[in-house]
Structure 1
Amino acid sequence: MAQLVPPPTISLHSTPPRPVAVIDIGATSIRMAIAEIHADGEVRTLDTLVQPVNLGREAFDVRRLSRASIEKAAGILKKYQRVLKEYGITGPQDLRVVATTAVREALNRLAFTDRVFIVTGLNVEPIDEAEVNRITYMGITPHLRSHPELADARSVVVEVGGGNTELLVIRSGNVLHSQSYRLGSLRLLQLLDDANVSASRRRILLESHIRRTLDLILEEVHSDAMIHLVAFGGDMRFAAHQLLDDWDGTSLAQLSTDRLIEFTNEVLKLDDDAIVKRFGASFIEAETLGPALLAYSMLAQAFNQSLVYVCDTNLRDGLLHDMAIGGEWTAEFRNQIVRSALTLGRRFDFDETHARNVAELARKLFEQLGAEHQLDQRHEVILHVAALLHEIGMMINVRSNHKHALYVIRHSGLFGLSKSELLQVGLVARYYRRAYPQPSHEGYGSLEREDRVVVAKLAAILRIAIALDDTRSGRIREIECVREARQLVIHVPGVDDVSLEQVAMRQNAGLFRDVFGMLVLLRAGK
Structure 2
Amino acid sequence: MDSQTKRLFGILHIGTVNMTMKIIAYSSLEDMEIIENVSHEVKYGEEVFTRHHVSYQSLNEICRILSGFRQLLRDYDVRDVRVLSTTAIREADNLLNVIDQIYIRTGFHVEVVHMAKEIYYKFFGLYYHVLRGTFNFADKAVLLLDITSGGVGLTCWKSDKLLFQQNVHIGSLRILENFTPRQRSELTFPTAVREYIYGTLSPLWASVQEHNIKYIVLSGRAATLIGNLMNKKKDAGICLIKPEEFRHFVYSFQGITPLKLVQRFNLSNNLANVIMPTILLYYELLRIIDVDMIVMMSTTFTEGYSMYYVAEQTHNSYLDHQRGLLLDLTRSMAGKYLYDPNHSSRVEEFCSILFNAVYKKIGLNYQCGYLLKLASILHETGKFINIRKHNLCTYNLITETDLFGITDEEKEILANITYYAFGGILQESSDKYNQLTPEQKVITAKLIAIFRLADSLDKSHLGKISRIQAELTDTMLILHYRSELDITLERWTFMKTAINFAEVFGISPMLRKG
- Provide TM-score, normalisation by structure 2: 0.91
Shift of 1:348: 1.3
Shift of 1:365: 0.4
Aligned length: 510
Alignment of 1:59-78 (within 5 A): 59-78=48-67
Counterpart for residue 6 of structure 1: none
3-state SS, counterpart of residue 355 of structure 1? helix
Give the distance between the partners of 2:385 and 2:255, measured in 1 at CA.
53
Shift of 1:263: 3.0
Q: Give unmatched runs, 5+ long, in structure 1.
A: 1-10
Shift of 1:148: 5.7
Which of the residues 123, 126, 135 maps onto 1:140? 126
3-state SS, counterpart of residue 230 of structure 1? strand
Preserved contact between residue 498 and residue 523 of structure 1 (Cα < 8 Å): no
Counterpart for residue 198 of structure 2: 211
Give the distance between the partners of 1:235 and 1:380, measured in 2 at CA.
36
Preserved contact between residue 470 and residue 478 of structure 2 (Cα < 8 Å): yes
Of the structure 1 ranges 118-127 and 282-291, higher mean CA displacement relative to structure 2 is found in 282-291
Paired AA for residue 127 in structure 2: T
Shift of 1:135: 1.0
Paired AA for residue 153 in structure 1: K
Deviations 1:14-71 (A, max 9, x none): 9712232211111222112222214574112223222233343122222211121112
Shift of 1:266: 4.7
Counterpart for residue 117 of structure 2: 131
Give the distance between the partners of 2:433 and 2:30, measured in 1 at CA.
39
Counterpart for residue 251 of structure 1: 237
Q: Give unmatched runs, 5+ long, in structure 2.
A: none
Preserved contact between residue 258 and residue 276 of structure 2 (Cα < 8 Å): no
Paired AA for residue 378 in structure 1: Q
CA RMSD of aligned residues (A): 2.7
Shift of 1:274: 7.0
Give the distance between the partners of 1:470 and 1:103, measured in 2 at CA.
47
Deviations 1:200-230 (A, max 9, x none): 1221221221221342331332256243111
Alignment of 1:166-315 (within 5 A): 166-193=153-180, 196=183, 198-223=185-210, 225-248=212-235, 250-266=236-252, 275=261, 278-279=264-265, 281=267, 284-305=270-291, 307-315=293-301
1:44 aligns with 2:33: yes
Counterpart for residue 389 of structure 2: 400
Give the distance between the partners of 2:443 and 2:346, measured in 1 at CA.
22
Counterpart for residue 162 of structure 1: 149
3-state SS, counterpart of residue 424 of structure 1? helix
Shift of 1:134: 2.2
Identity percentage over the alignment? 24
Counterpart for residue 422 of structure 2: 433
Give the distance between the partners of 1:467 and 1:272, measured in 2 at CA.
60
Q: 1:267 to 1:437 in 2, by over 3 A?
A: farther
Of the structure 1 ranges 180-189 and 114-123, higher mean CA displacement relative to structure 2 is found in 180-189
Shift of 1:485: 6.1
Preserved contact between residue 21 and residue 37 of structure 2 (Cα < 8 Å): yes
Deviations 1:448-505 (A, max 9, x none): 1121111111111111112222343324243333455644332225669654432121
Preserved contact between residue 223 and residue 303 of structure 1 (Cα < 8 Å): no
Paired AA for residue 321 in structure 1: M
3-state SS, counterpart of residue 333 of structure 1? helix
1:319 aligns with 2:308: no
Paired AA for residue 414 in structure 2: V
Q: 1:267 to 1:163 in 2, by over 3 A?
A: farther
Preserved contact between residue 143 and residue 157 of structure 2 (Cα < 8 Å): yes
Counterpart for residue 351 of structure 1: 340
3-state SS, counterpart of residue 199 of structure 1? coil
Paired AA for residue 282 in structure 2: Y
Alignment of 1:15-164 (within 5 A): 16-38=5-27, 41-89=30-78, 91=79, 94-145=80-131, 146=133, 149-164=136-151
1:458 aligns with 2:447: yes
Which of the residues 313, 318, 329 maps onto 1:340? 329
